[in-house]
Amino acid sequence: MGLFTGKKPSKAGKTGNTAALPRHIAIIMDGNGRWAKKRGLPRTAGHAVGVETFRTIATYCKNIGIDYLTIYAFSTENWKRPKEEVEAIMGLLEKYLYEAIEKMEKDGIRLRVMGDTAPLSEKLKKLIAETEMISDRLNGFQVNLCLNYGGRAEIVRAAQKYAEDYKSGKVSRLTEEAFSEYMYSAGIPDPDLIIRPSGELRFSNFLLWQSAYSEYYFTDVLWPDFSEKELDKAIESYKKRSRRFGAIESK
């Protein structure tokens, strides 16, 4: 079956050869509302379909050998949306986490939430804590859900925590590597490939620190229509790129 629930996943396609595969893929899920509007449906319907797309893509990533998948599920700015839409999104998250708790060990999938969980409901916080405990017992493919997440807020939080440790004498010299350990993504490799569906050409405050050398892939496809074939296209584009990390390409 799919990631925790859903349809039976497709077999790995042309990306089945793991050579040159990105180890870590991050995706800005975008276009749910527009997808629903085009069909005369409420925006909440788009979010529901978007969750199913997420299941499909996450399962496919696991099947083809990706190690990490990070999904931008809810930003710090998304609280500005209509109350009923926010409540619907939180309801979908609760449902997904309940299903995850039941099947994470069976499916061998770790789940980590990245973001400020303080404003979330007590029920969501409890579910998140339970998924973290289960993940600690597992190895292998990991899904990171960015929830109430903002790249700038993450950097400010990291700076504050470093300052506290510096003041107490726990740390001394600040380096990029040391600072990375204060990010939500501590212990996770930076994303190799970041995908933005829906035709928008901006970062939207996503993984600002971690994306310094990430490859970006933009597509006009709205997230609910994003398929395994679309992911294959993104990966094939990634494979053709030369990642020099500031150095000169060797001949």
pLDDT 10s per residue in the chain (251 long)? 455 555 555 555 555 445 589 999 999 999 999 999 999 999 999 999 999 999 999 999 999 999 999 999 999 999 999 999 999 999 999 999 999 999 999 999 999 999 999 999 999 999 999 999 999 999 999 999 999 999 999 999 999 999 999 999 999 889 999 999 999 999 999 999 999 999 999 999 999 999 999 999 999 999 999 999 999 999 999 999 877 666 656 55
Give the CA distances from residue 192 to residues 62, 75, 189, in Å, rounded to whole numbers and listed in that order. 16, 21, 8
Which pLDDT does position 1 carry in this prediction? 46
CB atoms within 10 A of CB 52: 15
Cα–chain-centroid distance for residue 123?
21
Active site residue 30: yes
Cα distance between residue 28 and residue 146, in whole Å: 10
Active site residue 78: yes
How many residues are recorded in the chain?
Answer: 251
Exactly one of 63, 67, 78, 225 is catalytic; name it.
78
Report all structural domains of the chain as residue ranges with CATH numbers, in order of start: 22-150+190-239 (3.40.1180.10)
Exactly one of 30, 32, 144, 148 is catalytic; name it.
30
User: For the chain, how big is the Rg over CA atoms in Å?
Assistant: 18
